[in-house]
Structure 1
């Protein structure tokens, strides 16, 4: 059966919001989980090979941090541009193009060359990966109505964690036995295999269009004008929910960036763990984040099924995660033992990096379907500037403060997570702001009559 024909047929039927998603929805979701696994395996290579790359190229911590920051040079721009494009071009083809570009981007540094080649390949990879998360989420959520989106959104986000957890031991072995350039060949090959599978099995879902956004039985029906609302992007970006979600997600992504780039070195050089122990410990915060993601999805879904508004079910559940993370990070300096510091570090970063599903499902609820891709892409563009800033800042701290610089970085992260938690708690209310967007879009029509 032709996938595109199937999707066109489903669009024509405008599916019921109470109908359970079929097998095709979960097959596509599974492929998108694998997509995010490849995405973050790509990102994690340089962090896992930090000591080898610095030794091979004679880099200081600042230079290594700047090389990793280069990955995010075009990351945010591409996320915003492709996010808007995703409102016009089927996500299936955008995702396929991205996956192919990932594999191509790995090859220059894998073939050889110095720092300039490494930076150039990371800039290209960052441009190709920038839109990955918002477009993957948009593609997954297009198969589910609003009240069923928490689990698939969490699973796609979980791909981030699974990518690091599964890649860390395998890529570490490749790096130690065959060199860090061989690890680049491995992730390039895996990306190419995923692209082939997606070309055959990938498809866009029935809830991608306005007509398919049918309300649940018993919920307030949307008006025709509301269903077809096309508010300017600037109105979406000016809502308290978009601002609060983006602010909170920025602080969460700061933690993610540091886990990817500096956590292995922090465990080895800052806390004195052996290389083998660090290889195990580096996966722990990602595992904690995975449990937090699944727990958040379960709690949020349970609350929403019982009629609790998304202000609490999404915004404040997410805020609690960030506030707990901030507490763990900010108390690290109060303990002297390596064990206690390590436990607080992995708990703080694990919980701190688990806000992504809250962010995506919140903005997906806020923005009408015709503005969803742009709203998600712009959020991701703003948020991922944390990846541009954080590695370079921590590299400078390590060069100037030595091992103490790692602890300073944890305290700064804790302060940011505290600010993010407060923003999520006080600003996020997608149902309220979605109604305001619909009313603002209809206002000129009513005034003219």
Structure 2
């Protein structure tokens, strides 16, 4: 007897199930891509003290070495983001991972400060497009209403990268020297590249059938210009909010271990554990954000509030958290304030991309996301150097003033998200 409540298995349902499995498999690979990406970024922050000691660097020089990472980061993010509208993202992602690994080799083999700066410039150029191209790729597997969770999982990969890297690389640094950490992340990048070559693909959801990554000269007809997209309130507000969020992310990656050790007096291993805990809690917050925004969207709440409203409020709360953190001393409250002040900012990283992806058509998505990343990640070029200068001039008090500066940036970004972003309004204007 056939149960009427059970749908029959047909070739169509098997194909749909297979497609869904492939979509989540690619999402997992892209999440791992961001794990490696942020493990690469975190190496210098985790090894800050031994690197500065062995290479004889001041705080300003160390901040400049970290800022060198962002010298081509933004430009590359914009250029490769535009290419992602014309070249299959699969190959772009593969090339990035291979270059990441190659860039780590000089420091693993004993190079000095000049090579450190050069390798960070190359690494930044290769990693600049990583997040926007990863998001662009995962969006080809899901419709707009289903993008909140996979988009958030890609962002959670950034937090997970530090959660894994902080204790693991700190252990390697303590026992085998700081150069061993560069070797570990180089190998991790190569392993991911092999897996992606074997299993990585783009999806076909919301794909522009006229382009298929090989645009004809007439394929741009009917598409809004990038100039119009970049002048929209949604793109401007999302980009300003992303800039603020990335300011907090850059400080967390580069200076949080030193802030905990030199500014608050925690032992090195305890500082690494706190960094890992902050990023772990941040990952949970990002997952909660995905659930909240998905529920609000499903209930018909406009994206202006379901996405940008949530992210903008998170940035404003982060600003108040940073103000409180600047006055805090060692103790349990520090972890809570670090999560509020810096962790909540990560919510806006994911939201900025899903919001802009909602606004623009598929044929303009890679470029729009790349340009968003280019402007937003410029914060990574500024924040580490400014912080290093403050620390050189003021000693441990410089960390406190850097945190207060971060509060001001987060507040401005939160206000921009709450007042400028409205995808429905701007989509109608672009279509007109």
TM-score, normalised to structure 1, is 0.88
Instruction: Give the match for residue 68 of structure 1.
Output: 66
How far does residue 342 in structure 1 lie from its aligned partner after superposition? 4.6
| Match among 352, 363, 378 for residue 356 of structure 2 | 363
Aligned-partner Cα distance in 2 for 1:254–1:236: 24
What pairs up with 1:35-434 in 2 under 5 angstroms?
Answer: 35-210=33-208, 229-335=222-328, 338-434=331-427
> What SS does structure 2 have at the residue aligned with 1:262?
helix
Residues 66 and 334 of structure 1: is their aligned pair in 2 closer, same or farther, counting only changes over 3 Å?
closer
Structure 2: which 5+ runs fail to align? 1-11, 211-219
Shift of 1:288: 2.6
Cα distance in 2 for partners of 1:333, 1:195 equals 41
Q: How far off is 1:21 after superposition?
A: 5.8
Distance 2:83 2:90 in 1: 12
Task: Give me the whole-angstrom Cα distance separating, in 1, the residues matched to 2:18 and 2:336.
Answer: 40
Contact 1:49–1:175, Cα closer than 8 Å, also in 2? yes
Is 2:90–2:200's contact at 8 Å kept on the other side of the alignment? yes
Of 74-83 and 427-436, the range deviating more from structure 2? 427-436
1:426 shift after superposition: 0.6
Shift in Å, 1:20: 10
Question: Residues 96 and 337 from structure 1, CA distance in 2 versus in 1: closer, same or farther, beyond 3 angstroms?
Answer: closer
Partners of 2:78 and 2:145 in 1: CA distance: 26
The 3 A distance-change label for structure 1 pair 127 and 164 is same
1-structure distance, mates of 2:248, 2:241: 11
String of CA shifts for 1:58-88, please: whole Å, max 9, x gaps: 1000000000000000000100000000000
Using the TM superposition, give the Cα deviation of residue 330 of structure 1 relative to its aligned residue in structure 2, in angstroms.
1.4
CA distance 1:30–1:342, change in 2 (3 Å): closer
CA distance in 1, matches of 2:240, 2:131: 17
Tell me, which stretches of 5 or more residues in structure 1 are unaligned? 1-12, 213-226, 440-449
Q: How many residues align?
A: 410
Aligned-partner Cα distance in 2 for 1:115–1:335: 35
State the Cα distance separating 1:436 from its structure 2 match: 1.0
| Native 8 Å contact 1:328 1:348 kept in 2 | yes
Say if 1:345 and 1:410, in contact at 8 Å, map to a contact too: no
TM-score, reference length from structure 2: 0.92
Deviation at 1:345, TM superposition (A): 2.8
How far, CA to CA, are the matches of 2:233 and 2:295 in structure 1?
A: 25
Shift in Å, 1:286: 1.2
Q: Residue 229 of structure 1: CA displacement? A: 3.6
1:390 and 1:148 mapped to 2: Cα distance? 34
> Retained in 2: the 8 A contact 1:271–1:342?
no
1:343 CA displacement: 3.2
